[in-house]
Amino acid sequence: MAKASGTNNQSQSAVGEPYFCEECKRNHTKGKIYKEHLNFAKFESVEDKVVDDNIEISDLVSNDDSISKEEEALSYEVEEIEDVDKVIDEDDLDEEVDEDDLDEEIDEDDLDDELENYTDDANACVEAVKKLPGVGEATLKKLIKAGFSSLESIAYTPPTIIQKESGLGDKTIEKLIKASMEKLGIGFKSAEVVWEHRKNIARITSGSQELDNLFGGGIETGCVIEFFGEFRTGKTQLAHQLCVNVQLPKEAGGLNGSALYIDTEGTFRPERIIQMAEGHDLDHKKVLKNIVFGRAYNSDHQVMLVKEATNLIKEKNIKLIIVDSLIGHFRSEYIGRGTLANRQQTINGHLHDLLRLTDIFPDLCVVVTNQVQSKPDVFYGNPTVAAGGNIVAHGSTIRVYLRKGKGEQRVAKMIDAPHLPDGEAVFSITENGIID
Ligand code: ATP
Ligand code: MG
């Protein structure tokens, strides 16, 4: 094997400058002389063998006894350079290295493409994130890709989740969260301020005056509402109706917004949306267009869809998210007592993802449906209980139990709400949707 005799002169050329090697009659770059030369030499001696550019120098060094000490030292230099690259890749370096290095790699056009579909509102949020200290193009792109395109989304999400989703380093995230919280003025505030905020809470009509009254004037935004009940009690029908009603103008009981429907059971029916839209004299084509639909094929997929929703909310003006049903997949996938803790933990995380969305977007309403299961130890009264146990009970803000009444009638019972009295409401499911 040819040896890199020219390497003795390498110290005369500065880093980055080409160095002409007499032996292989090629230019080498300082810092890479040994590696390039060795690759060349090996290629020359073994016929037709293609040498991988990323060949492990350390392997070659250990196999060649005749390599001089200088060459060995040089090989360490090469390894060291490679090591530094590795460290930078792993984001273990502090913010400055992180940004500077990656910003070079980033293609600004990529970021522009990403932002092209954003509405003005969404762009304003991104602009605010861009102004956070230490946010370069690369960090910004990573944040946007992971769904953290507003100060709120950064401030309200636990650092471990931001890190997992975006791949940014601990220190960068810590600084970003701190700066976002400062900008948003998150901290203690007087109850008066909270009241001012709650006075302006928006509501979506259910289509039934009685049901709206049970909710204190309609299904409110900024929280997670759970409808649970047996089959055919109207959970899916209510979900469809809310997708139509959220599109109504504010004076008609809507929010002038779009809906995102996550269907885990395959029971979303556009024909029902058309019937309900006609009930309001709305153009059903427009109504259908304003419903973003996602079919979740398993629990992991369901969790992923909710995570992806973050980026769609501003872009599509989404004011309502439906998950129908919340734990169907979890019940069928996690079987046996041994999986219970794991299942509950995943459901808990999923519900918190939804709750966090309502913190980030206070004018967003999240509605989930839930099945019931029988309580074998109940002999008197209602033997059914909402599935999912305490995790779901504590995760949702308002819980309503649905049961069948006479014919098309259904009864809704308020089970738990932080500010509403217990009570019942009767509503009907008709061809044109939910009415009194
Ligand atoms: P599951 O737990 O099985 O998902 P669910 O609570 O979601 O049940 P829905 O699908 O909301 O049940 O309700 C189904 C009921 O809605 C039907 O049994 C029927 O009474 C009523 N319904 C559905 N479509 C129409 C329609 N076009 N016209 C009138 N009523 C309808
Ligand atoms: Mg259903």
Task: List pLDDT tens digits, range 271-299.
Answer: 999 999 999 999 999 999 999 999 999 99
pLDDT higher than 80, residue 69: no
- C-alpha 255/C-alpha 241 separation (Å) is 14
Report the separation in Å between the CA atom of 196 and the middle of ligand 1, taken as the mean of its atom positions: 39
Return the pLDDT at 31. 55
Given the CA of residue 239, which atom of ligand 1 is nearest to it?
11
Given the CA of residue 431, which atom of ligand 1 is nearest to it?
28
Report the separation in Å between the CA atom of 238 and the middle of ligand 1, taken as the mean of its atom positions: 9
Which positions ≥6 away from 237 have C-beta within 8 Å?
272, 429, 433, 434
Report the separation in Å between the CA atom of 333 and the middle of ligand 2, taken as the mean of its atom positions: 19
Give nearest CA residue, ligand 1 atom 12.
232
CA dihedral sign, ordered 327, 333, 337, 338: negative
pLDDT higher than 60, residue 344: yes
Poorest-pLDDT segment among 79-93, 137-151, 296-310 = 79-93
pLDDT higher than 90, residue 263: yes
Rounded to 10 degrees, the C-alpha dihedral 157/162/164/170 comes to: -120
Return the pLDDT at 259. 95
DSSP annotation of 206: -
Helix (H) / strand (E) element for 261: namely strand 258-263
Residue 80 forms part of a structural domain? no
- C-alpha 197/C-alpha 4 separation (Å) is 74
Proximal ligand: closest to the CA of 433: 1
- C-alpha 407/C-alpha 405 separation (Å) is 6
Which positions ≥6 away from 300 have C-beta within 8 Å?
none
**C-alpha 329, offset from chain centre:** 19
Work out the pLDDT band at 381, boundaries 50, 70, 90: low
Helix (H) / strand (E) element for 103: namely helix 95-105
Residue 11 sits in the same domain as residue 156:
no
Poorest-pLDDT segment among 22-31, 141-150, 167-176, 359-368 = 22-31
Return the pLDDT at 238. 96
Best probe residue, ligand 1, of 232, 240, 326 (max atoms within 8 Å of C-beta): 232
Residue 344 sits in the same domain as residue 271:
yes
Give nearest CA residue, ligand 1 atom 18.
232
Tokens 């193009």 correspond to 137
Provide the total of helices (H) and of strands (E) in the chain, helices listed first.
Answer: 19, 15
DSSP for 334-398, written as a single string: S-SGGGHHHHHHHHHHHHHHHHHHHHH-TT-EEEEEE-EEE-TT--SS--EEETTHHHHHHH-SE
Proximal ligand: closest to the CA of 324: 2
Indicate the residue among 130, 151, 184 that finishes a domain.
184
Work out the pLDDT band at 420, boundaries 50, 70, 90: confident
Q: Which two tokens stand for residue 310?
A: 């973050």
Residue 116 sits in the same domain as residue 248:
no
Cis peptide preceding 374, ω within 30 of 0 = no
Proximal ligand: closest to the CA of 230: 1
pLDDT higher than 90, residue 10: no
Tokens 């006609």 correspond to 278
Report the separation in Å between the CA atom of 237 and the middle of ligand 1, taken as the mean of its atom positions: 6
Residue 347 sits in the same domain as residue 260:
yes
Backbone φ, ψ for residue 320 (5° rounding):
-145, 130
Residue 198 sits in the same domain as residue 314:
yes
Report the separation in Å between the CA atom of 368 and the middle of ligand 1, taken as the mean of its atom positions: 16
Q: What residue numbers bound the domain in which 119 lies? A: 90-184
Return the pLDDT at 35. 55
Report the separation in Å between the CA atom of 404 and the middle of ligand 2, taken as the mean of its atom positions: 14
Residue 105 sits in the same domain as residue 70:
no
Indicate the residue among 157, 184, 211 that finishes a domain.
184
Tokens 């919280």 correspond to 181
Report the separation in Å between the CA atom of 267 and the middle of ligand 1, taken as the mean of its atom positions: 10
Side chain identity, residue 219: I
SS3 content of the chain, % helix, strand, coil (to 5): 50, 15, 35
pLDDT higher than 90, residue 407: no
Residue 85 forms part of a structural domain? no
Residue 401 sits in the same domain as residue 302:
yes
- C-alpha 276/C-alpha 287 separation (Å) is 10
pLDDT higher than 60, residue 140: yes
Residue 318 sits in the same domain as residue 369:
yes
Ligand 1 residue neighbourhood (C-beta within 6 Å): 229, 231-237, 267, 371, 429-431
pLDDT digits (tens, 9 = 90+) for 146-173: 888 888 888 888 899 899 989 999 889 9
Residue 319 forms part of a structural domain? yes
Residue 28 sits in the same domain as residue 153:
no
Residue 211 sits in the same domain as residue 174:
no
Best probe residue, ligand 1, of 211, 226, 236 (max atoms within 8 Å of C-beta): 236
Indicate the residue among 15, 41, 75 that finishes a domain.
75
Question: Integer distance in angstroms from the first to the last C-alpha of the chain?
Answer: 90
Contact 167, 142 (CB under 8 A): yes
Side chain identity, residue 59: D
CA distances (Å), origin 3, targets 39, 79, 150, 207, 209 = 11, 19, 57, 84, 89
Given the CA of residue 233, which atom of ligand 1 is nearest to it?
6
Give nearest CA residue, ligand 1 atom 30.
430
Residue 386 sits in the same domain as residue 301:
yes
Q: Which two tokens stand for residue 114?
A: 């990403």
Q: In a 3-state reduction of DSSP, which class is residue 223? A: coil
Return the pLDDT at 261. 96
Residue 83 forms part of a structural domain? no
Residue 178 sits in the same domain as residue 196:
no
Number of folded domains that form the chain: 3
Best probe residue, ligand 1, of 261, 263, 429 (max atoms within 8 Å of C-beta): 429
What is the reported pTM? 0.70
Q: In a 3-state reduction of DSSP, which class is residue 415? A: strand
- Cβ density class 50-85: b for 16+ within 10 Å, e for less: eeeeeeebeebbeeeeebeeebeebbebbeeeeeee
Report the separation in Å between the CA atom of 329 and the middle of ligand 2, taken as the mean of its atom positions: 13
- C-alpha 26/C-alpha 167 separation (Å) is 40
Tokens 């308020």 correspond to 414
Contact 358, 366 (CB under 8 A): yes
Rounded to 10 degrees, the C-alpha dihedral 65/66/68/69 comes to: 20
Can you list the positions of beta strands (E) in 114-252?
A: 203-204, 219-220, 224-229
Report the separation in Å between the CA atom of 231 and the middle of ligand 1, taken as the mean of its atom positions: 8
Which positions ≥6 away from 201 have C-beta within 8 Å?
220, 221, 222, 362
Given the CA of residue 232, which atom of ligand 1 is nearest to it?
12
Q: What is the mean pLDDT of residues 32-55?
A: 46
Backbone φ, ψ for residue 324 (5° rounding):
-125, 105
